[in-house]
A and B are shown apart, each in its own frame.
Chain A
Amino acid sequence: MASIDIKGVKKVYQGNVTAIHGIDLAIGDGELVVLVGPSGCGKSTLLRMIAGLETITEGTIAIDSAVVNSREPAERDIAMVFQNYALYPHMSVRQNLEYGLKNRGTPRAEIDSRVAEAARMLEIEPFLERKPRQLSGGQRQRVAMGRAIVRQPKAFLFDEPLSNLDAKLRGQMRVEIRRLQHRLKTTSVYVTHDQLEAMTLADRLVVMNGGRIEQVGKPTEVYDRPASLFVAGFIGSPPMNLIPLEALKNIVGSAVLKDLPTETDLIGVRPDRMQTGEGEGFVLTGTVDLIEPVGGESHLYLHVEEIAAPLVMVMPGRPDLSEGAVVPIRLPLDALHPFSTRTGLRTD
């Protein structure tokens, strides 16, 4: 167990590709931090620098207050779970779990007890003598986690560990990882581009974009107060509606919207905060373009005069509306997120 301190870290790959433009991040002892962001934003690069699989171009990474920049992965005492599991195909599950311990010269009795413990925890005891190829994807994933757990490392590093699993299994394993991490209280860094995974797993969420950190915070904080237009569009599904302030003022008059910070020229509204019917806030008139029933809720795509992009609204159940219907859309004032297109940032 350990803290991880990342200070001014940059990564420039061969050929002058800058993957990380200077990142500062302090990860506390026992914390589960999720790095989330679009493809190519540098999540894996950052994780691999923590692991020691990539060199650090600039800045320092410290594990447990000791700078590890020049240490080999094995000397950093971290364990990594890979997207494709990376189990040794010619070794049995047991040998896979033992390999790292053997290389460290752990005594036999200790190895046996740790393997037994991890196997019990992950319910992989029945497969211990099998080869990885004789396991299903989910079982392989468990073995990969087992290989990390037996080592009792200072930190777990996960690089999209669930993305090769089907949706149902992904959900189960997500819960399991959360449970294990709570139980073992091992500092963890988890990379994903699945925002549901990110929201549900994280103690703290780190949203990355283009090699930079956009926002760090509790998942609910990030959801409730996105710090930039990028985060607003990236976190939340369906994504936040972004309406030009001018258009909004033309429809409802500038009186209602006068208290906004000066830079503001774009207003964001979460689809689930929009309502029909009476209440506080102001009302737009929309025409229903499309209704998508998504099980327990429905997504309405609405066209509003003066606003170019369709607005998305989430309604519980199956509203009694048909396409082409005209509905009043109420936007509560406290659901408005003011942004500036010039800076790309939140203005309040």
Chain B
Amino acid sequence: MVENRPFLAVLTHLVLLAGVVIVAFPVYIALVAATHGPTALTSGAMPLLPGGELFANVMQVLTENRRGVAPFWLMAWNSLWMAVIITLGKIAISIISAFAIVYFRFPGRVLAFWLIFITLMLPVEVRIIPTFKVVADLGLLNSYAGLTIPLIASATATFLFRQFFMTIPDELMEAARVDGAGPLKFFRDILLPLSRTNIAALCVILFIYGWMQYLWPLLVTIDPNYYTLMMGVKRMAAVSDADPQWNIIMAAVLLAMLPPILIVVFMQRLFVKGLVETEK
């Protein structure tokens, strides 16, 4: 569509700019808040320009231990583990199950497909009480297993891989069979390399998904040693006997936002590379 109408161009740009502002303004506020001293934010008027205390605030977040909140490094470590295990676990399970569903004719295949499909309708939030019960009965509260396994079991990634595998011509599998590759060899030598781009994309999405988990970790962890960053930041704000230290909280928020940003920036190069190189 090529149009040359200045009014429309201005209008579309205004809409887009409004969108950017809506998304970016809270982030900007967090950034500004993280750069002020302890008094600036409690005085009632929110400063709109950055101050000079960013480094001090960040150092305070990184070093200080506060009551009811685990040390920052520990929480970051827990969040990282959780995100990584969820990412790897989901990708591993979903690519294998998609492989089974697309390439094998076994009894109960249709049933398996539908069971997986149904889990799409049941994310953790929907089945949270039964899931909690199961995890508690298995003695998985306060453990990485309890934090991650219920979130690994879901079907979105399976569907993505299934869709992708179905676009790969059958002849490729047949050529591999004639070439003496059994199912596992075919999976390793042909499907995996061809799925590179999809795996990279899923890594980004799933890492952020795992990193951002709030509700589930809140439920299954009582031991501060298993607190994650998202919980920790919330707990920092929930002090009862004093004003929350917004400058410190916002500094922690900024730090918590860094890994997803780094992942996107880093993986984006892989994406582009993958997109340029893939072809069937």
Binds A, one of B129-137, B189-197, B224-232, B258-266: B189-197
The answer to the question of B145 belonging to the interface, with a C-beta cut-off of 8 Å to chain A, is: no
Question: Is A298 interfacial (CB 8 A cutoff)?
Answer: no
Known A-B contacts A99-B189, A103-B185, A133-B279; the reply to A86 vs B175 at CB < 8 A is yes
Contact between A100 and B280 (Cβ–Cβ < 8 Å)?
no
| CB-contacts of B178-226 with A (<8 A) | 178-181, 185, 189-190, 193-194, 196
**Inter-subunit contact B177/A73 (CB<8 Å):** yes
Choose among B174, B185, B190 the residue that contacts A88 (Cβ–Cβ < 8 A).
Answer: B190
Q: What is the distance, in angstroms, from A248's C-beta to the closest C-beta of chain B?
A: 50
Q: Find out whether the CB atom of B180 lies under 8 angstroms from the CB atom of A103.
A: yes
Given contacts A53-B177, A99-B189, contact A82 B171 (CB under 8 A): yes
For A90, the chain B residues whose CB sits under 8 A away are: 190, 193-194, 196
0/1 string, A63-93, CB within 8 A of B gives 1: 0000000001110001110111011111000
List chain A residues, Cβ under 8 A from B178.
Answer: 51-53, 73-74, 78-80, 100
Contacts of B194 in A (CB 8 A): 89-90
Q: Are A80 and B174 in contact (CB under 8 A)?
A: yes
Interface pair A89/B174, CB less than 8 Å apart: no
Inter-subunit contact A82/B190 (CB<8 Å): no
- Chain B binding site: helix, strand, loop or mixed by DSSP? helix
Partner of A103 from the list B171, B179, B196, B279 (CB cut-off 8 Å) is: B179
Shortest beta-carbon distance, A94 to chain B, in Å? 14
A103 surroundings in chain B (CB, below 8 A): 179-181, 185
User: A104 an interface residue at 8 Å Cβ cutoff?
Assistant: yes
With a cutoff of 8 Å between Cβ atoms, the chain A residues found around residue B172 in the complex are 86, 88
B44 at the interface (CB under 8 A from A): no
B107 at the interface (CB under 8 A from A): no
Chain A residues with CB under 8 A of B176: 88, 99
Task: Determine the interface band of chain A, counting residues with CB < 8 A from chain B.
Answer: 20 to 34
Q: How far is the CA of A79 from the CA of B169 in the complex (A)?
A: 18
- Whole-angstrom distance between the Cβ of A128 and the nearest chain B Cβ: 18
Does A74 contact B179, Cβ atoms closer than 8 Å?
yes
Closest to A159 in B: B171
| CB-based contact B171/A86 at 8 Å | yes
**Which residue of the partner chain A has the closest CB to B175?**
A86
A78 to B178 CA separation, bound complex (whole angstroms)? 7
CB proximity of A151 to chain B, nearest CB, Å: 8
The listed residue with most B CB atoms (<10 A of its CB), out of A73, A80, A89, is A89
The residue that B180 contacts in the complex, of A80, A88, A100, A147, with Cβ under 8 A, is A100
CB contacts (< 8 Å) of B280 on chain A: these are: 89
* CB neighbours of B169 from chain A (8 A): 84, 86
* CB-contacts of A31-86 with B (<8 A): 51-53, 72-74, 78-80, 82-84, 86
Do A89 and B279 touch (CB < 8 A)? yes
| Minimum CB distance partner of A81 in chain B | B175
**What residues on B are CB-neighbors of A88 within 8 Å?**
172, 175-176, 189-190
Cβ of A25 to closest chain B Cβ, rounded Å: 21
Least CB separation from A48: chain B residue: B174
Contact bitstring B2-28, A, C-beta under 8 A = 1, else 0:
000000000000000000000000000
Closest to B177 in A: A73
CB closest chain-A residue, reference B192: A90
Evaluate whether A104 and B180 lie within 8 angstroms (CB atoms) in the complex, with A89-B280, A133-B279 already known. yes
CA distance A88 to B191 in the complex (A): 10
**Could you say which residues of chain B place their CB within 8 Å of the CB of A78?**
178
> Please, which residues of chain B bring their CB within 8 A of the CB of A51?
174, 178
What is the minimal beta-carbon distance from B154 to any residue of chain A, in angstroms?
28
Report chain B residues within 8 Å CB of A100: 178-180
A339 to B2, CA, bound (A): 65
Q: Give Cα distance in the complex from A52 to B169, angstroms.
A: 18
- Give the nearest-CB partner of A79 in chain B: B178
- Inter-chain contacts of B190 with A (CB < 8 A): 88, 90
Interface readout for B263-279 with A: 1 if CB under 8 Å, 0 if not?
Answer: 00000000000000011
Contact present for A80 and B279 (CB under 8 Å): no
Which residues from B are CB-within-8-Å of A80? 174-175, 178
Given A86-B171, A88-B190, A90-B194, answer yes or no on A99-B177 (Cβ-Cβ < 8 Å).
Answer: no
19 A-B pairs whose Cβ atoms sit less than 8 Å apart in the complex: A73-B174, A74-B177, A74-B178, A79-B178, A80-B174, A82-B175, A86-B169, A86-B175, A88-B172, A88-B175, A88-B176, A88-B190, A90-B194, A99-B179, A99-B181, A100-B178, A103-B181, A103-B185, A104-B180
Q: Which 5 A-B pairs have the closest CB atoms?
A: A100-B179, A86-B171, A103-B180, A74-B180, A86-B175
Task: Give me the interface of B with A, judged by CB distance under 8 Å.
Answer: 169, 171-172, 174-181, 185, 189-190, 193-194, 196, 278-280
Given contacts A72-B177, A78-B178, A90-B193, 12 further A-B contacts (CB under 8 A): A52-B177, A53-B177, A74-B179, A74-B180, A74-B181, A82-B171, A84-B169, A86-B174, A90-B194, A99-B181, A99-B189, A103-B181
Q: Which A residues are closer than 8 A to B by beta carbons?
A: 51-53, 72-74, 78-80, 82-84, 86-90, 99-100, 103-104, 133, 147, 151
